[in-house]
Amino acid sequence: MTKRKLDLVVIQTVQGEITAQVTKAHLESEGIPVLLQADTLATVFGLTVDGLGAVKILVPKEFAEQAKQILKEDSTSEPT
């Protein structure tokens, strides 16, 4: 069995675990694998002060541009 190293890139940093999970679900629904990276302290205690609640959204390098475009389109769309 061979191990393959995945080249992950940070495409966005969001504030809070809930926002990160929503973003992750949205990207995964578009077929993009996502990994979230957060400080354990923020996750355990729910701290969101001075960047403690920051969560990095990572995707494989080959999906980075597509993921950024999806998030960009999502942020510029009008609410219905």
The pLDDT of residue 47 is 58
Taking the C-alpha atoms of residue 50 and residue 48, their distance in angstroms, rounded to an integer, is 7
The pLDDT of residue 9 is 97
Domains of the chain, by residue range, sit at: 9-71
pTM of the shown model:
0.77
- Per-position pLDDT tens, the chain of length 80: 566 777 999 999 998 888 999 999 999 999 999 999 987 665 566 555 666 678 999 999 999 999 999 999 987 655 54
The pLDDT of residue 6 is 78
Pairing verdict, β 54-60 and 8-15: antiparallel
The pLDDT of residue 57 is 97
CATH class of 9-71: alpha beta
The pLDDT of residue 22 is 95
